[in-house]
Structure 1
Amino acid sequence: MGSLQGKTAVVTGGSAGIGRSIAEAFLAEGAAVLIGSRSQVKGDKMLAELGAGERARFLATDVTRQEDVERLVDAAHHWFGRLDIAVLNAGGVRQSAPILEMTDDEWQFELDVNLNHTFWGLRRSLGYMVAQSSGRVICMSSVEGKRGRPGIAGYATNKAAIITLVKAVAHEVGKSGVTVNALCPGLVVTDLVADRGGAGQGLAGVDAVVEKYSSEAATGRPVTLDEVASLAVFIAGDAASGITGQALSVDGGTAQY
């Protein structure tokens, strides 16, 4: 029997990369999972690949839209009858740049896809979890939320804000049986990283990004998808009931705290 047997979960940004890896790990541990991401085509393909039957569902979701995020959380509760775990994973940038070159549209996009989506999903999930006196919320921050790398100030600002949000909300709901934590991965070489390369950081392509981040890690390498997903499984489980309000690094020793 898996550690999440009988639990239900919702995962944003779950059709690829870290989100998909977490969804797969939850399914392997016995949970039922609703995955939200933009593309219905990719979602249908993913469900076929997962082969998890009714325990895996997909709903096309644009996390920059409040109504989409709230609809996804509501759907998880409606379809599964309860909501035990919410992983607010979606995030990223579109055309990141140093502040003097960043457009208002890019700033707003990064705010919506990272911080606002996390706020909307957190608030909606807590409505169900507090009422049932149990739940786990996992918000996706980043190693960049613990430092100020030039060239990606918008992204780093959002990820730092997620850490502070988690710490505050953990105290608001801590006596209700709900925990709220942030995961702070280092570099994980996903399709998004391959597509964006070192945009805004003066790094030419994914190889340069890997070399830079690996040189900063104690392990000398990027973090793997499995390493992030394994931490998410632990935090989502019963054994982590005493862990809340934390920004948990899985970055190969990059961050100093």
Structure 2
Amino acid sequence: MNAIDLAGRVGVVTGGAQGIGRAVTERFLASGAAVAIWDIDGKLIERVAAELGARGRVLPVVADVSDAGQVDRAADATVRALGRLDILVCNAGITGPNKKVWEYPVEDWRKVMALDLDGVFYCCRAAVPVMLK
């Protein structure tokens, strides 16, 4: 395990309920941080928060990071519940269909960009001002 002490810190992990995001969530908890998991799957994050709750403070926040308003509300909910926001891991993402570029539907491309690109911008836009306080 690492020797990084994150006691008293609050991290946000988008898509933090499974895969790499869950591993990051678990590492933050092991290092002493409280963690807000922002994810579109409410049932999953509730289950993961219950599973990991014995390791530290876990706040499940339902949010679609491709929606700026939902991201703003998630940041507000995190600060209200945990008092601060110190670390942001923009992990949520999708790949879209596995197709040749000339066969790739434009609407699928827009969904990927909305989550993978716009979502990172929205999360940084909401989190950085709080971090700078």
Aligned to 1:48: 50
- Deviations 1:116-157 (CA, angstroms, capped at 9, x unpaired): 000000111111122x2xxxxxxxxxxxxxxxxxxxxxxxxx
* Matched-pair contact (CA < 8 Å) for 2:33–2:56: no
Equivalent positions of 1:112-127 (< 5 A) are 112-127=114-129
Which residue identity lines up with residue 108 of structure 1 in the other structure? R
> Aligned pair count?
131
Which residue identity lines up with residue 11 of structure 1 in the other structure? V
Cα shift at 1:11: 0.9
Aligned to 2:16: 14
Aligned to 2:79: 77
Cα shift at 1:35: 0.3
- Deviations 1:20-47 (CA, angstroms, capped at 9, x unpaired): 1101100111001110112221112111
- Deviations 1:92-114 (CA, angstroms, capped at 9, x unpaired): 22314222111111110110110
Aligned to 1:128: 130
Say whether residues 1:94 and 2:58 are aligned partners.
no
- Deviations 1:167-191 (CA, angstroms, capped at 9, x unpaired): xxxxxxxxxxxxxxxxxxxxxxxxx
Name which of structure 1's ranges 105-114 and 37-46 shifts more when overlaid on structure 2: 37-46
TM score, norm. by length of structure 2: 0.89
Cα shift at 1:81: 1.4
Task: Tell me, in whole angstroms, the C-alpha distance in 2 between the residues paired with 1:34 and 1:23.
Answer: 9
Cα shift at 1:2: 5.7
* Matched-pair contact (CA < 8 Å) for 1:27–1:52: no
TM score, norm. by length of structure 1: 0.48
Name which of structure 1's ranges 48-57 and 14-23 shifts more when overlaid on structure 2: 48-57
* Matched-pair contact (CA < 8 Å) for 2:71–2:122: yes
Which residue identity lines up with residue 65 of structure 2 in the other structure? V
Secondary structure of residue in 2 paired with 1:114? helix
Aligned to 2:109: 107
Task: Tell me, in whole angstroms, the C-alpha distance in 2 between the residues paired with 1:52 and 1:71.
Answer: 26
Name which of structure 1's ranges 64-73 and 98-107 shifts more when overlaid on structure 2: 64-73
Say whether residues 1:34 and 2:36 are aligned partners.
yes
Secondary structure of residue in 1 paired with 2:131? helix
* Matched-pair contact (CA < 8 Å) for 1:12–1:89: yes
Which residue identity lines up with residue 23 of structure 2 in the other structure? S
Equivalent positions of 1:142-221 (< 5 A) are none
Specify which structure has the bigger relative contact order, considering alpha-carbon pairs within 8 angstroms and separated by 6 or more residues: 2
Give the number of the structure whose alpha-carbon radius of gyration is greater.
1
Identity between Structure 1 and Structure 2 (%): 36
